[in-house]
Amino acid sequence: MFTAPVIEGDCSVLCAHENRGVPPCCSIRRHVPMLFKEEFAWLMKKTRMWSPKRALFSNHHAIMFCACKGVRECDRHYRSLSCRFFPFEPYMDDRGRFLGATWMYSVEKTCPLVGSAPEKVNQAFIDQFVRVWTKLFLVYHEEYEFYRAESRKLREAFARIDRNVQVFTPSLSRAR
């Protein structure tokens, strides 16, 4: 299961007040959740919270854009994987090895966690993130290729501005 919070406590206290009580990651105007099609089908049996956003089309065959009922009606137990991953994405090195998680730098301006003190990040979250993505990559090779390319683009963009990509590795690899 993927249940660990990104940080200890509720990170929405950092951002919701600036957005009429709605955290940016739960505002459909700023962030449209992307669900795996099988995940969507499973969630539809469990909760009435999700609906497809048919106007938006993903180039990824396995994924679809969706809308939830909003933060006040959030059935948290049945939030999507993309809700749980936020604000992190998988990071691969130049040989394609999946090293761990990096910030979703594209939301740096809206999510105050992105780029903040790395020691705040819950190690259990990183461990679960890596476990879940390792399994997802076995099934969805397209996603692996996508994040491999994204990691390379991120490295190149950051190299140009002399900035380091922050990578969070799972506890097992730290112990080696």
* 64 contributes a contact to ligand SF4 by CB under 6 A: no
DSSP string covering 110-165: T-TTTTS-GGGB-HHHHHHHHHHHHHHHHH-HHHHHHHHHHHHHHHHHHHHTT-PP
* 25 contributes a contact to ligand SF4 by CB under 6 A: yes
Closer CB to ligand SF4, residue 12 or residue 166? 12
Task: Kindly identify the residues of this chain, within the stretch 91-150, that bind ligand SF4 according to CB under 6 A.
Answer: 111-113
Q: In the numeric block, which tokens belong to residue 78?
A: 């049945």
* 14 contributes a contact to ligand SF4 by CB under 6 A: yes
Residue 82 in 3-state DSSP? helix
Q: What is the torsion angle, in degrees rounded to the nearest 10, for the CA atoms of residue 12, residue 137, residue 66 and residue 33?
A: 20
* 68 contributes a contact to ligand SF4 by CB under 6 A: yes
* 90 contributes a contact to ligand SF4 by CB under 6 A: no
Residues 6 or more apart in contact with residue 39 via CB below 8 angstroms: 80, 81
For 3, 15, 82, 147, the CA distances from 78, given in Å and listed in that order, are 11, 23, 11, 25
Shortest Å distance, C-beta 110 to ligand SF4: 6
53 conformational bin, left if phi > 0, alpha if psi -120 to 50, beta if neither: beta
Closer CB to ligand SF4, residue 87 or residue 90? 87
HSE-up of residue 159 (Cα within 13 Å, Cβ side): 6
Q: Which of 36, 85, 86, 129 binds ligand SF4 (CB under 6 A)?
A: 86
Number of residues engaging ligand SF4 in binding (CB under 6 A) = 21
Q: Which of 23, 90, 100, 170 binds ligand SF4 (CB under 6 A)?
A: 23
Q: Which of 79, 92, 121, 125 binds ligand SF4 (CB under 6 A)?
A: 79
* 15 contributes a contact to ligand SF4 by CB under 6 A: yes
Q: Which of 4, 62, 71, 104 binds ligand SF4 (CB under 6 A)?
A: 71
Q: How far apart are CA 36 and CA 127, in angstroms?
A: 21
Query: Site residues (CB under 6 A) for ligand SF4?
Result: 11-12, 14-15, 23-26, 33, 68, 70-71, 74, 79-80, 83, 86-87, 111-113
